[in-house]
Amino acid sequence: MKDAFYISTEKSKLNIQRVHQEVKESYWGDYRTLEMTKSAVENSICFGVYSKTNEQVGFARVLTDKVVLAYIMDVLIFDAYRGKGLGKMLIEYILNHPIIKNVQTIALKTKDAHGMYEPYGFNRIGDSAMWMAKDIAKYN
């Protein structure tokens, strides 16, 4: 099934209206305006998930300094496509992306998907209910 989908970082392919609609319906982004969504996309590395017919079915974005920290945000698989492994495919793609794979700490926040991120090395941060991080840095 996953062979019927691909991921692109080409921002011109993104369906910004659909991304905005999905973010607005999420528990974390209901306050965002279309202008905020456009600005967030403009200032992030974006990952679109597409069907072989080029229909966008998912989205995520990352803020990073490319060395010390990357912050994964707005991970979305659109309703009709959930449960097909596309979220895992998207996270694997992000973590293996040339800009992100060597960043020392990759962080994210989630209210309900801890189990999806833990197999990729993400751990909860302190006693936070939402923050998770994956560290490749070795601290002495």
Q: Where are the domains of the chain?
A: 2-135
CA angle centred on 13, ends 106 and 35, rounded to 5°: 75
Average pLDDT over residues 75-90: 95
The tens digit of pLDDT for each residue in 116-129 reads 999 999 999 999 99
CA distances, 17 to each of 1, 36, 125 (Å): 26, 12, 33
Kindly tell me if the per-residue pLDDT of 3 is higher than 90.
no
Closest-CA residue to 63 (of 26, 108, 27): 108
Share of the chain above pLDDT 70, in %: 96
List the CATH code of the domain at 2-135: 3.40.630.30
pTM tops 0.85? yes
pLDDT class of 140 with cuts at 50, 70, 90: very low
As a whole number of angstroms, the distance between CA 81 and CA 71 comes to: 24
pLDDT class of 14 with cuts at 50, 70, 90: very high
Closest-CA residue to 108 (of 126, 130, 129, 127): 130
